[in-house]
Structure 1
């Protein structure tokens, strides 16, 4: 279909363009509210800065599409193929991306607040400073994705895949990460105040200079984790495995660590609360047990 035909039919009140072929078409700066492009072929098309509020793009092909600065709130983008697409700065609040393919896509600075990305494939996606507040990312594939500076407060990440994910400087305050596997990923300078990481797999994870005040890390595995200069004020580390972890220069004031494993844990220059009731340092400078309140 030619773009001019689509615009003429849209002006006459037609909204159903399901299955059309608009590959490589120039649709930028257009207003196409409520348009139905289900299963359409928009591969390589340019939709930058268009207004597509409540559009239906379910099952559409948008590989390599230019979706920069698009306005599309409450859109249906389930099962859509956005592989290698450019969605920089797009406004996609409360849109449904369930099971969509976004591998290698660029979503930097996009607003996906409250969006549904359950089961979506975001493997290798570039998501610098993306807004994912209150988004549903359950079961999403975020392996090798770059989420540096992403805002994820209130987001659901249960059963998400996060191998080699970059979450440095990300905002994860209050996020429920119970039992999740974050082993070896980069969370340096991340904000995790009040986050629930109970029972999480965090071995060799980089928490350097992260803010974890009030975080629940009970029963988590932090073997070999880097917590250098981390702020852990009032965190719960009860029964946490901190063997070989680096807590150099960390702030451990008011931390609860009853039952924690601290074999070969590095605690040089760490800050302890004046209200510390008990700690025990055994031979060869190995800290085996201590309790801070």
Structure 2
């Protein structure tokens, strides 16, 4: 739990680079991490439901069994992110960046319908 408290405290003090962190099994529901860099982080089994993740960099992050329902991911970077085991129910992914064929989505998920932005590799 101390990693979460440290992360939130450092975020409040202006730090945004948290790339490569291991936050597995954490509860960050309703957290405000707008603009944070969580690329290459292990976010397995984490609860990010209803979190403010606008503009967050989740590129190449490990997101196994993550709850992102009702999360605000507008403008997020999801380059090379595996979202196959992620709950995206009612998540706002408008203008979130992804690379077709590199970013992986849950079955039946359509990034165009979610108004995501395709980035050329």
Alpha-carbon spacing, 1:228–1:154, altered in 2? closer, same or farther (3 Å): closer
Structure 2 counterparts to residues 1-293 of structure 1, below 5 A: 107=2, 112=5, 116-119=8-11, 136=12, 139-223=15-99, 224-229=102-107, 237-241=114-118
Contact 1:174 1:196 (8 Å CA) reproduced: yes
**Shift of the alpha carbon at 1:209?**
1.1
Counterpart-to-counterpart distance in 1, 2:34 and 2:116: 22
RMSD after superposition? 3.0
> Secondary structure, in 3 states, of the residue corresponding to 1:202?
coil
Structure possessing the higher relative contact order (Cα contacts under 8 Å, 6 or more residues apart): 2
Answer 1 or 2: which has greater helix percent: 2
Would you identify which runs of 4 or more consecutive aligned residues in structure 1 move more than 4 Å?
none
Larger Rg: 1
Alpha-carbon spacing, 1:239–1:211, altered in 2? closer, same or farther (3 Å): closer
Alpha-carbon spacing, 1:118–1:241, altered in 2? closer, same or farther (3 Å): same
Length, aligned pairs only = 116
Counterpart-to-counterpart distance in 1, 2:67 and 2:13: 18
After TM superposition, the score normalised by the length of structure 2 is 0.77
Q: Structure 2: which 5+ runs fail to align?
A: none
Counterpart-to-counterpart distance in 2, 1:138 and 1:185: 22
Counterpart-to-counterpart distance in 2, 1:173 and 1:180: 14
> Secondary structure, in 3 states, of the residue corresponding to 1:117?
helix
